[in-house]
């Protein structure tokens, strides 16, 4: 699993590449949280365009980031999801609390 992190205003954008599973979730979580808290970000966008697979550890990672942004008055968005990963997200119930968008440009500008 490789991630790239960028910021836009008070939003952390995380691009995933590879498989988000029990082998990679903890290190990925640490990287995301480090930048999120050091830069005092408010929102997180998870771009899953290049994510091939996700297991329950990935669901846990998403839920933990959701808690962080909610506690901070922000929002978590997920963009560019494959059908396979979307099915996993639906089964987990995450899509009941996290907004899914086709692309970064589809996210409301004033979030």
Q: What is the pTM of this model?
A: 0.94
Pinpoint the alpha helices (H) of the chain.
Answer: 25-38, 56-71, 83-92
d(CA 111, CA 13): 13
pLDDT for the residue 33:
99
Q: What is the set of domains in the chain, with CATH numbers?
A: 2-106 (3.30.750.24)
Distances (CA, A) of 12 to 22, 23, 77, 88, 105: 23, 23, 10, 23, 15
pLDDT digits (tens, 9 = 90+) for 59-85: 999 999 999 999 999 999 999 999 999
pLDDT digits (tens, 9 = 90+) for 4-25: 999 999 999 999 999 999 999 9
């Amino acid at each position: 699993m490789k991630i790239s992190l960028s910021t836009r205003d008070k939003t952390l954008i995380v691009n995933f590449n590879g498989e988000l599973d029990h082998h990679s979730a903890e290190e990925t979580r640490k990287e995301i949280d480090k930048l999120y808290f050091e830069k005092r970000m408010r929102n997180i966008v998870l771009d899953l365009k290049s994510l091939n697979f996700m297991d329950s550890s990935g669901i846990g990672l998403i839920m933990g980031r959701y808690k962080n942004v909610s506690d901070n008055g922000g929002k978590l968005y997920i963009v560019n999801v494959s059908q396979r990963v979307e099915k996993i997200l639906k089964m987990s119930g995450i899509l009941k609390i996290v907004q899914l968008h086709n692309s970064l440009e589809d996210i409301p500008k004033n979030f």
